Amino acid sequence: MTKSLVTGGAGFIGSNLVDQLIEIGHKVIVIDNEYSEAHDQFYYNDKAEYHNLDIRDAATRSLYDNVDYVFHIAAEARIQPAILNPIEAVSINSVGTCTVLQYAREAGVKRVVYSSTSSAYGLQEAPHVEALPDDCLNPYSVSKVNGEKLCKMYTDLFGLETVIFRYFNVYGDRQPIKGQYAPVIGIFLRQLENEQELTIVGDGEQRRDFVNVKDVVQANILAATKKLDDSALGQVYNVGTGINYSVNEIAKMISDFTVNIDARPGEAKETLAHISRIKGTLGWEPTIKVEDWISEQLTPEIPPQNENPIRRSFDKIKNWLYGE
């Protein structure tokens, strides 16, 4: 049986990946200490093996033995918390990544798939092509790009196969919904469910490339299992859709009632993935459009007689938000 290890496997992206790996027959080990400003809830699959440990902890070393693939998702995964505590962000995202790579190397793991960020492109003009130079604006992007460079070094120097993903704005089932730094779509749906105005940061004209978590999961599995030439290893691949929307456009899909709040420093005005490399090398393409997904969350199922369809729509959003 194929054996996979997922760091951060109880969080948003990680738990979706764990479920799919188990679905296709993998034995799955998860390292997750439930520490993150990015998550307000954690998710567990009864068929996976969980270890509540820090990825930097030497006690995790034995967990890599006999593992085929490592999916390294654990991170300090939000910009603003990293700005508030840069030392910890760099330690988790850079030192933690080096620890994962070293243990994978020692254990003879076949391949490591590393989750990085489109924040590496900073303020550069879109669309963002992988060949662009780094333009890190904050401790989060610096620490994640450090992890990318470590991956490439472990491939070039030690022969450990790695694939590096730069995620754009990931959304979908189980995304965080609480706190001021949660992803915008989750915040908006929570505010709708609570019958509140949608809070738009700044003027709302910042544009983001939104990619569904189900598509991200499929990219990860392809990256681990597909036979790749040496030239494709240790390389960066954008994971996005090649289409972006303004925050105002996303808000309009959900509600007409909005309020603007102050802009936040250190965030890019536009993100837009150029995805030719991942299409050509992995054969991956996004399959879910953000407008279709949002519409599905807002569309009530046909209610039983005498049931309020508006209430049913809110109940559907609540079930999605809280996993009920």
Place of tokens 């033995």: 65
Give the residue extent of every domain in the chain: 3-173+211-242+270-288
DSSP secondary structure code for residue 273 in this structure: B
Identity (one letter) of the amino acid at 139? P
Strand 207-208 relative to strand 245-246, pairing: antiparallel
Span 88-95, average pLDDT = 96
- How much is the mean pLDDT over the chain? 91
Beta-ladder partners of 128: 273
Q: β-strand 161-167 against 258-261: which pairing, if any?
A: unpaired
Long-range contacts of 306-314 (CB under 8 A, 24+ apart): 314/192, 314/193
Of 3.90.1300.10, 3.90.640.10, 3.30.1540.10, 3.40.50.720, the CATH number of 3-173+211-242+270-288 is: 3.40.50.720
Instruction: Tell me whether the omega of the peptide bond preceding residue 127 falls within 30 degrees of 0, making it cis.
Output: yes
Q: What is the number of alpha carbons within 13 Å of residue 187 lying toward its C-beta?
A: 16
What is the pTM for the complete model shown? 0.90
Residue whose C-alpha is closest to residue 108's, from 226, 24, 5: 5
Q: What's the pLDDT at 164?
A: 98
Answer whether 110's CB lies under 8 Å from 69's CB: yes
Distance (Å, whole) CA 154 – CA 101: 7
Q: Give the model confidence (pLDDT) of 24-46 as tens digits.
A: 999 999 999 987 655 568 999 99
Residue 322 has pLDDT above 80, yes or no: no
From the number of C-beta atoms within 10 Å of its C-beta (0-12, 13-18, 19+), residue 209 rates as buried
Torsion on CA atoms 294, 295, 296, 301, rounded to nearest 10: 140
| Active-site annotation, residues | 140
304 has a pLDDT exceeding 70: no
Is pLDDT of 314 > 90? no
User: CA 295, CA 293: separation in Å to the nearest integer?
Assistant: 5
Find all residues with CB under 8 Å of 304, minimum gap 6, and list them.
none
pLDDT band at residue 56 using 50, 70 and 90 as cut-offs: very high
Q: Is the pLDDT of residue 297 over 80?
A: yes
Plot region of 92 (φ>0 → left; ψ -120 to 50 → alpha; else → beta): alpha
pLDDT tens for 171-227 read 999 998 876 567 899 999 999 999 999 999 999 999 999 999 999 999 999 999 999
Residue 245 β-bridge partners: 208
- Cβ partners under 8 Å of residue 306, min gap 6: none
**From CA 93, how far away is CA 105, in angstroms rounded?**
18
Q: Are 293 and 212 in contact (CB under 8 A)?
A: yes
* CA–CA gap between residue 3 and residue 89 (Å, rounded): 29
Asked whether the beta carbons of 176 and 38 are under 8 A apart, the reply is yes
Strands 27-31 vs 69-72: parallel, antiparallel or unpaired:
unpaired
